Amino acid sequence: MKRNEFLAKLGIGTALICTGNILQACGKNSDNDVNPGDKDDPEPVNFTLDISTDLPAVGSSKTKQDVIVVRTATAAVASSFVALEAVCPHEQGSIFYSTNNSNLECSLHSSRYKLDGSVLNGPVNVSGSTRPLKLYNVTLSGNTITITDKV
């Protein structure tokens, strides 16, 4: 039987209902689906690091919960540390701290960011653009640094 004959016998209405249900099922995104690049409803950021072991010197960095924390000065005060998102907004490449340039760079397309999160240059040799990196709140108590979402 040809497709035209089948659809005519089945009825075009039934065919449209079946097609609609199939397309709707394919597009569903359950709460259990994991998409690391999807930041529509990210988990709240809240973690601690020990500055004496995790960030002992100026230029040291540590990545945790998709946040990169960089030590920018020797003083043991909160302003000596910066915390930014560690996933590039362009195509979700990993962000790392470049000690040579004192900035953040994307491992995928070489976008570069200042330590305040602003864009120095967007993706290299590809189309598209990027946006500034999200900053996180940094507090310090003794040798423990706490990183949280900005309030």
**Measured distance CA(107)–CA(92) in Å, rounded:** 10
Compute CA 9 distance to the chain's CA centroid, rounded to the nearest angstrom: 51
Query: Residues 6 or more apart from 112 whose CB is under 8 A from it?
Result: 98, 101, 103, 104, 105, 106, 119, 120, 121
Q: How many whole angstroms separate alpha carbon 81 and alpha carbon 71?
A: 5
**Distance between CA 15 and CA 38 in Å, rounded?**
33
Give the tens place of pLDDT for each residue, 137-151.
999 999 999 999 975
Helix (H, G, I), strand (E, B) or coil at 145: strand
Q: What is the pLDDT of residues 113-122, one digit of tens each?
A: 999 999 998 8
pLDDT over 70 at 22, yes or no: no
Give the separation between CA 140 and CA 146, rounded to whole angstroms.
Answer: 6
Q: pLDDT value at position 69? A: 97
Nearest to 95 by CA among 116, 81, 82, 109: 109
| pTM, two decimal places | 0.70
Q: At 95, is the pLDDT very low, low, confident or very high (cuts 50, 70, 90)?
A: very high
Confidence of residue 96 (pLDDT cuts 50, 70, 90): very high
The model's pLDDT over 27-61, given as tens digits with 9 standing for 90+, comes to 444 343 333 444 555 688 999 999 999 999 999 99
Averaged over 5-11, what is the pLDDT?
Answer: 59
Q: Output phi, psi for 27, to 5 deg.
A: -90, -5
